[in-house]
Structure 1
C-alpha cells in the first residue's frame, strides 16, 4: 500500500533536498523524441493530421475536417447543456477577472521629455494573433478559458483562437464554449496536445497560424512549445500543476491537508507539498488525509495519492520558519498558499512564487476560478523569472523616440563620440556635419 511521503528537511542530504525541487516535466526526453513526428504530420498534412490525432488520441469519433472549427450552433447548444448555476459562476469569475486585468492595461503611448527637446517613451500595440491552449486530458477547464480569454480580449488582440482537445463524439466541453463566448472569444478549434501547438504555429487548411500560444498543458504540449519556439512564441512555461501549502502553528493540520489536495488531484504528474515547521501540523495533516479522500471520487483520489506518495509531493517538516522560507524560494512554486492566521508576517520572506494566496479563507480553489488574478502561472521554477499571465502578455511594446532640432547638437556629439570609440564609421557620420546639408532650415 502506498504511503504518503513525510520528510524531515534537516535529515536530507544536499542531493535529496535538490531532488525535492524536481517537477514531472523536468525530463522531457521521451516526449521530445516522439513529438517531432506529430509536428511534421500537422505541418505537411494539415487538417487530415488533426482529424487523425483527434480520433486516435482523443477518441473523438465523427471528427472531420469540416468539424474542426466550432460552429455558432455548437456555441448556442452549449448554453442549453450547462446548468444555470455553472453559467452564473462563470459569469462571476469573468467579471472579476476582467476587472482585475483592465487595471493592467497600459496607455497606448507614453512620452517623457528626457532632456529639453528630446522625448522618449513606449507605444503598446496588441499582438495580432494569439492561440489560447485549454487542456482537457484529466478534466474540463472552462476556468483556463476564462483566465486566457479575458486578458486577450481586454488587450485588444484582433485574432484570438482557442485550441482544446475534442471530447468523444467530436464536440467540445460545453462549459468551455460558454466561457469562451462570455469572455468574447469567437474562434475555437477542436485540437489538443502537440498537434494543437503545431497547428497554431504552422496553420492548416482550417486553422489560421498564430504568433503566440499561451496556456498550461501536458508534457506533450510543453515539448511541442519548446521544439516550435523558433516558429511561434511559446509564452510563459506552464506545465503540470504544482503547489506548496505553507502552514504555521496558528492553523490546524487538517485544513492544510484539505488544501494540499487541491493541486494534487489535477493528475499524477502534478507536484504538491505541505511545508511546515510544526510537527503537530504535519501529524494532523497526515491523520486527516484519509477522511478527505473518503469525500473524493476514485479518479481524483488516485491522482492525489500518486502525487503525495510519489516523488513529487508529500509533507516536508522543517526545523525553523527560515528553513521553510528558504525551501519555498528555492522551489519557486506555481501556487503558494500561506496558511496562517497572520499571513502578512510571512509574506515579506517570500521572494519566488508565481501566486501567493494568504490566510485560511483564500484556498487555491478561489484563486483558480474566480478571485481575479490570473491562474495561468509559470511552473517548473519558472517563477524565478516569470510572473502570471497578464494583459501585457498579449501586447507588444515599441520604444518611441523624438529629438527636436534644439536637442540634436548635444545628443549628436555624445553619439558621435561613442560611435568613433566603438569603431562604427557611419554611426558617427550620421550625426556629424554631413547631416546638416540634408536638413531644412
Structure 2
C-alpha cells in the first residue's frame, strides 16, 4: 500500500500549506453540470424521473406509486432490527431530544426599550422541511436521529425524509425505526441530486418543502447550490472531515484509532492528525496497520484512500501554537482535542463546528447520541456556520409595539431622519398627517 501522507508543516511553503486546506467538494463544477439535467428532469417529469434515476443510480427496484414508505413497512422494520440497535437508537434520541429542548428559544420575548416602547423577537416553526438521509456508503439511522429530533422539537408541522432506496426498493430498517421514534412518518425513496430536486419542486408523490437539511455526497451539495433560489439549502454539509489534535500527553495509537473514525466514511472524506509531537505522529503511523486489521475490507479501502491521499494523513507542527493555527485555518467539521488536559487548549481554538474534549469523547460517541447535533458544516464553513440546531427549523420575526405615550419622541426622530434621507412617505407617516387620524 501507499505510505500514509506525512506533512512536516515547517517545511511547507504557502502553496503546500494551502493544499492541505482543500476538501474533495472544493470544485463542484463537474458535479453541478451533471446535476443540472437531473434537476430539470425531476422538475418536468416528477415521479417518473425519480423512478428512472433510482434504477440508474441506486440500482434500485422502485416503481411509480411506491415511492413513499408505507406504515406497514415502518411497522415491519421493528421486527428486522436487533433489540440492541433499537435500544441504542432510543438512547441516542433521548439524549438528542434533551439537548435540543434546552436549546429551543422561548416563543417570544419583549423588552421595554424606552418607556412605553417595546421590541423583541418571536420564533415560529418553518412550515415544511425535508430531511436528507444519505445511504451510498452505508446506512445512517444516526443522521435520521440528528435531523428529525430538532425538527420535531421545533414543531415543524410538515416533515419528510428523503433517502436512497436499496436494490430491492426498501429503505434501511434502522432508519425507519429511528424516524418513527423521533416522530417522523413521511419517508420517500429518493436520493442524490434527484431527491433535492423533488424536495424543491415537488412531484406527484413528494410534497415540496421550504427547506432541506442533512449531509450528502457532492451530488447532493451540487443540487442544493443549483436550487438555492427555489429551496433553502440549509447549512453546507458535505463529505465527512475531522482533525484529531493531539498534544504530547497521549499515546499515538489512540490518536490513530480516532483518526480512522471519519476517514472510513468514504474516499471523499478528509481526516488529519495534527500534533507537535514527533513521538505521537510516529506511534500513530505505526499503529494504523493494527487498527486496519480489525476493520471491514470496505472501510479499510475508504480510510486508506483518505490517509494516503490528498485529503488526509499526519501533520507534524513545530509547536502547540502552530497546531492551533492549523486547526483554526482548517476550520474542521469534527475536532477532537486529545489531551489529559483538553481545557488548556480550548481557548486557543475558535474555528471548529464540533469540539470533543479528552480521550473519553471520540467522534463515535458524538455521532451516535451524546446530545449535540452531528450534522455539521464542512469545507471550512465552520468559520461562519454552527451545527444543525432547533434554530434551523424556526424563523425569527421581530416584534415592535409603541404606545401612545411613547409615540411622540419616536415620531420626532423618525421624521428628522426620513426628511434627511429624502423619503417623503416615511416623513408624512410620522407627521401631523398621522396626528389627524389618531
> TM-score if structure 2 supplies the norm length?
1.00
Counterpart for residue 401 of structure 2? 402
Structure 1 segments, 4+ long, off by >6 Å, are: none
CA distance in 2 between counterparts of 1:154 and 1:135 reads 22
SS in 2 for 1:274: strand
SS in 2 for 1:341: coil
Counterpart for residue 5 of structure 1? 5
Counterpart for residue 311 of structure 1? 310
Counterpart for residue 138 of structure 2? 139
Gaps of 5+ in 2: none
SS in 1 for 2:379: coil
Counterpart for residue 168 of structure 1? 167
CA distance in 2 between counterparts of 1:65 and 1:164 reads 16
Counterpart for residue 219 of structure 2? 220
Counterpart for residue 72 of structure 2? 73
CA distance in 1 between counterparts of 2:260 and 2:50 reads 35
Counterpart for residue 41 of structure 1? 41
Query: Is 2:354 aligned against 1:355?
Result: yes
CA distance in 2 between counterparts of 1:417 and 1:385 reads 37
Deviation at 1:43, TM superposition (A): 0.2
Counterpart for residue 54 of structure 2? 54
CA distance in 2 between counterparts of 1:370 and 1:227 reads 32
Query: Is 2:377 aligned against 1:370?
Result: no
Deviation at 1:315, TM superposition (A): 0.1
Alignment RMSD (CA, Å) = 0.5
Query: Is 2:25 aligned against 1:25?
Result: yes
Give runs of aligned pairs for residues 162-201 of structure 1, distance below 5 A: 162-201=161-200
> TM-score if structure 1 supplies the norm length?
0.99
CA distance in 1 between counterparts of 2:415 and 2:193 reads 51
CA distance in 2 between counterparts of 1:55 and 1:176 reads 21
CA distance in 2 between counterparts of 1:231 and 1:139 reads 29
CA distance in 2 between counterparts of 1:402 and 1:356 reads 41
CA distance in 2 between counterparts of 1:47 and 1:129 reads 20
CA distance in 1 between counterparts of 2:279 and 2:427 reads 71
Deviation at 1:299, TM superposition (A): 0.5
CA distance in 2 between counterparts of 1:223 and 1:252 reads 40
Deviation at 1:108, TM superposition (A): 1.1
Deviation at 1:244, TM superposition (A): 0.1
CA distance in 2 between counterparts of 1:387 and 1:6 reads 30
Deviations 1:250-294 (A, max 9, x none): 000000000000000000000000000000000000000000000
CA distance in 2 between counterparts of 1:121 and 1:29 reads 42
CA distance in 2 between counterparts of 1:65 and 1:157 reads 28
Deviation at 1:421, TM superposition (A): 0.9
Gaps of 5+ in 1: none
Counterpart for residue 246 of structure 1? 245
SS in 1 for 2:103: coil
SS in 2 for 1:316: strand
CA distance in 1 between counterparts of 2:282 and 2:106 reads 52
Query: Is 2:266 aligned against 1:293?
Result: no
SS in 2 for 1:24: coil
Deviation at 1:325, TM superposition (A): 0.2
SS in 2 for 1:132: strand
CA distance in 1 between counterparts of 2:154 and 2:162 reads 19
CA distance in 2 between counterparts of 1:421 and 1:21 reads 48
Deviation at 1:121, TM superposition (A): 0.4
Counterpart for residue 413 of structure 1? 412
Deviations 1:56-115 (A, max 9, x none): 111112x11211000000000100000000000000000000000000111111100000
Counterpart for residue 231 of structure 2? 232
Deviations 1:341-396 (A, max 9, x none): 00000000001000000000000000000100000000000100000000000000
CA distance in 1 between counterparts of 2:236 and 2:283 reads 34
Query: Is 2:341 aligned against 1:336?
Result: no
SS in 2 for 1:282: helix
Deviations 1:131-164 (A, max 9, x none): 0000000000000000000000000000000000
Deviation at 1:223, TM superposition (A): 0.2
Counterpart for residue 437 of structure 2? 438
